Structure 1
Amino acid sequence: MYSTEQKQYFSEKLLSWYRRHKRDLPWRRSRNPYHIWISEIMLQQTRVETVIPYFHRFVDKFPTVEALAEAPEDEVLKAWEGLGYYSRARNLQSAVREVQERYGGVVPDTKEEVFALKGVGPYTAGAILSIAYNKPEPAVDGNVMRVLSRYFLIEEDIMKGSTRVLMEKLAKELIPEGAAGDFNQGLMELGAMVCTPKSPHCLTCPVMLHCSGRAAGMEAELPVKKKAKPPRPESRYVALLEGTGGQAGRVLIRQRPAEGLLARMWELPHALAPGTGTDGRDTAQGPDPAPAHEALAEHLDADGLGLGELRWFMPAEHTFSHIHWELDVFLGTVDNPSLLPESSAPLPSHYRWITREEMEQYAFPNVFLRILKAYFKEREGAS
């Protein structure tokens, strides 16, 4: 289907280019399969520049398979805080525990064993096996599919499973003998730095001469990718509940359920809002607190908390892969004296009163972290 000359040219030129121009990234400084595994999980849906400081902190805190396997989940989530897609961290720790138990803490080097680990798909398995162990396994992600679509003029929809199979077969055929790790990283590097999604830098591309997509004038139209459904909008009211009197510096947080979205992470109490939650919002005064009070009071009453008066504090938003949250944040107090921070009565087990300093003990999704930081910053400015 594709000429031997075109494939050989691609492999030789790409490998030579990568070895001369590769970026100095921390996970490239060794062949440690555990570190490579961490980096590949972090890099899913996340930019390299964002990952670098997280990678350094994570491997400093959990330098070995054993250290991560034995760590409390809360510590792992806190170390991951801000990267998002927290199921990645949970799956990584679960798989690392399996490596510790079944393989004595040594990341396995066979396709069947690596692929069987929780959260490890075909791409991650290929990356670990090729980069750490130099096994001739393809590692096909979005960058790689874009490069191959353009170079070989592949017009099939890359969202289809059959296209991925085609790409994996082709990528495996392209791997030069004894250079799987460098070649796969070169493919990723080319897609990240040169063959970019928009405005590809064709004139600096090491394989431009035999690129069929450029020859056909289609480099900007490839790859073919069916558009995903946009995340559905969902409006929510958020309660930022303050302590009173001598405990005015504390706010109430709660832990999410053990299963589902953002499992076991900490957040501010919130409830689904009727309608869009943004109709008639005034940027200075905010929305009417009456419907927010009704929705939040019903929500908090179930935990025996009760809710005092509310005043609007700020808007916020956050996009997950399938939901877009539009949030209205309201300041208020708990209308149950026995549950205020100065009381000795216990809170429901999944609630805590915390200070700004105590935030460091809990893992929050980004959106609630932003809200809390904005609140404490305003308090500091007012004091």
Structure 2
Amino acid sequence: MDIEALKKWFLEQKRDFAWRVSPTSYAVWISEVMLQQTRAKVVEGYFERWMILFPNVKALALAPQEEVIKAWEGLGYYNRARNLHLAAKYILKKYKGVIPDKREELEKIKGLGPYTVGALLSFAFHQKAAAVDANVTRVLARYYHVEEDVTKAETKQLIQLKTENLLPEIEPWVCMEALIELGSLVCGKVAKCIKCPIKEGCKTRELKSQHLLPKKPPKKKVELLHRNVIVLMYQDSVLLRKTGSGLMADLYEFPYFEKEKPQEEILLTFLAREAIYQQHLNVVNHTFTHFKATLFPSIWRALRKEMFSNYIWVLTKDLTKFPFSAGHRKIIQQIEGMR
């Protein structure tokens, strides 16, 4: 592989991102966790807001968890935000808020997987370390014509070793970031081989089999969900519940029920008291992991402000202060539009 050509291409074509302007260990850590399974353009705004709210490890460690989850709202995979918060507390206690620069110490921190550890060592501490993400995997699987399933442990190890062997002694972090950028801008799902600085020597290009690699198992079948969402109001308050576990843990939501039963029957079962139907809202579609949910929200007026187990009443004007899933945020936007 022509490493010099790759580096030259990168230095000419690399995108300007806030985390590249000042690649401190904290900035690298936060940006790399945000960038996992999220497009860089989407991350930009989130990263800038996060750095204002939590400019360093100490600020993040001392922040309330709900505030951290709210700042992550919309990025999905909320366990990452919880792990960032827990890791910050650990780093503050163990290392006085200074992120360690040793692999063995980084690997002990909750939520720091092999990629994040490699990214910190490479981009923040300028060590010779591989940071293999989906972009790098795609580039090397095509360049070396790796036909094995890239999700398998032995194939991951192979790609890791090939990456490590490619890194030069001088400025290895530049080469590492260049491989990631190449996978993002050129060697994407549809390979733009004509623009590739390392196309000479790419075995997959020679075989014209770019569209066949990298090999992965079939995607998990999408599960369809249909839910009635009850926006129950009493004067200037609305009823919410906080999720305790699962994919949406620590997020707030309106009461919802699977759509097998009529809304009125569900509502009466839920309340065991009277409520007056007000109106239906627009249907909302919400996709997360391998689920596709269709939400059917409606507004109801409670005759009394009853207390329900695991539910809380909050002021309608304060809804935007709480972290919600994307689907329920769309319902809030409709409510806001009515005011």
TM range (shorter): over 0.9
- Distance in 1, matches of 2:100 and 2:305, equals 54
Name the SS for the 1:94 alignment partner.
helix
Is the CA contact (8 Å cut-off) linking 1:31 and 1:133 kept in structure 2? no
> Structure 1 297/118 Cα, relative in aligned 2: closer, same or farther at 3 Å?
farther
Name the SS for the 1:184 alignment partner.
helix
Runs of at least 5 residues in structure 2 that lack an aligned partner in the other structure: none
Higher alpha-carbon Rg: 1
The answer on 1:261 being equivalent to 2:232 is no
Q: Deviations over 1:36-63 (max 9, x none)?
A: 0000111111111110011011011111
Is the CA contact (8 Å cut-off) linking 2:277 and 2:300 kept in structure 1? yes
- Distance in 2, matches of 1:52 and 1:169, equals 31
Is the CA contact (8 Å cut-off) linking 1:134 and 1:178 kept in structure 2? no
The counterpart of 1:297, out of the listed 249, 256, 268, is: 268
Match of 1:334 in 2: 302
Is the CA contact (8 Å cut-off) linking 1:95 and 1:118 kept in structure 2? yes
Normalising by structure 2, what TM-score? 0.94
Amino acid at match of 1:223: P
- Distance in 1, matches of 2:80 and 2:159, equals 25
Is the CA contact (8 Å cut-off) linking 1:131 and 1:180 kept in structure 2? no
Please tell me the root mean square deviation across aligned C-alpha atoms, in Å. 1.9
Name the SS for the 1:117 alignment partner.
coil
Name the SS for the 2:300 alignment partner.
strand
Name the SS for the 1:210 alignment partner.
coil
Match of 2:24 in 1: 32
Is the CA contact (8 Å cut-off) linking 2:257 and 2:266 kept in structure 1? yes
- Distance in 2, matches of 1:300 and 1:228, equals 40
> Structure 1 72/107 Cα, relative in aligned 2: closer, same or farther at 3 Å?
same
Structure 1 residue 311 displacement after superposition:
4.3
Match of 1:352 in 2: 313
- Distance in 1, matches of 2:270 and 2:176, equals 51
Structure 1 residue 349 displacement after superposition:
6.4
The answer on 1:317 being equivalent to 2:308 is no
Name the SS for the 1:309 alignment partner.
strand
Is the CA contact (8 Å cut-off) linking 1:316 and 1:327 kept in structure 2? yes
- Distance in 2, matches of 1:29 and 1:43, equals 16
The answer on 1:252 being equivalent to 2:239 is yes
Structure 1 residue 376 displacement after superposition:
2.0
Is the CA contact (8 Å cut-off) linking 1:271 and 1:296 kept in structure 2? no
Runs of at least 5 residues in structure 1 that lack an aligned partner in the other structure: 1-6, 275-289, 340-345
Amino acid at match of 2:247: L
- Distance in 2, matches of 1:133 and 1:146, equals 25
Amino acid at match of 1:324: K
The answer on 1:270 being equivalent to 2:248 is no
- Distance in 2, matches of 1:93 and 1:298, equals 38
Structure 1 residue 306 displacement after superposition:
5.7
Amino acid at match of 2:127: K
Of all paired residues, the percent bearing the same amino acid is: 37
- Distance in 2, matches of 1:94 and 1:129, equals 20
Match of 1:92 in 2: 84
Is the CA contact (8 Å cut-off) linking 1:69 and 1:94 kept in structure 2? yes
- Distance in 2, matches of 1:338 and 1:321, equals 36
Match of 2:93 in 1: 101
Structure 1 residue 228 displacement after superposition:
1.8
Residue correspondence of structure 1 range 1-383 to structure 2 within 5 A: 7=1, 9=2, 11-198=3-190, 200-244=191-235, 247=236, 250-257=237-244, 259-274=245-260, 291-301=262-272, 307-309=275-277, 311-335=279-303, 337-339=304-306, 350-356=311-317, 358-377=318-337, 379-380=338-339
Q: Deviations over 1:248-291 (max 9, x none)?
A: xx43322222x3232221111112222xxxxxxxxxxxxxxx71
Match of 1:281 in 2: none
Aligned residue pairs, count: 339
Structure 1 residue 196 displacement after superposition:
1.2
- Distance in 1, matches of 2:271 and 2:112, equals 39
Is the CA contact (8 Å cut-off) linking 2:286 and 2:327 kept in structure 1? yes
Name the SS for the 2:26 alignment partner.
helix
- Distance in 2, matches of 1:91 and 1:79, equals 14
- Distance in 2, matches of 1:254 and 1:40, equals 31
- Distance in 2, matches of 1:251 and 1:376, equals 13
Is the CA contact (8 Å cut-off) linking 1:95 and 1:117 kept in structure 2? yes
Q: Deviations over 1:220-255 (max 9, x none)?
A: 2211122221232222110012334xx3xx433222
> Structure 1 52/169 Cα, relative in aligned 2: closer, same or farther at 3 Å?
same
Is the CA contact (8 Å cut-off) linking 1:239 and 1:268 kept in structure 2? yes
Task: Name which of structure 1's ranges 290-299 and 14-23 shifts more when overlaid on structure 2.
Answer: 290-299
Amino acid at match of 2:93: E
Is the CA contact (8 Å cut-off) linking 2:118 and 2:130 kept in structure 1? yes
Match of 1:284 in 2: none
Is the CA contact (8 Å cut-off) linking 2:252 and 2:323 kept in structure 1? yes
Q: Deviations over 1:307-345 (max 9, x none)?
A: 44364322112222132222111221224x143xxxxxx
Q: Deviations over 1:132-163 (max 9, x none)?
A: 01121211111111100111111111121211
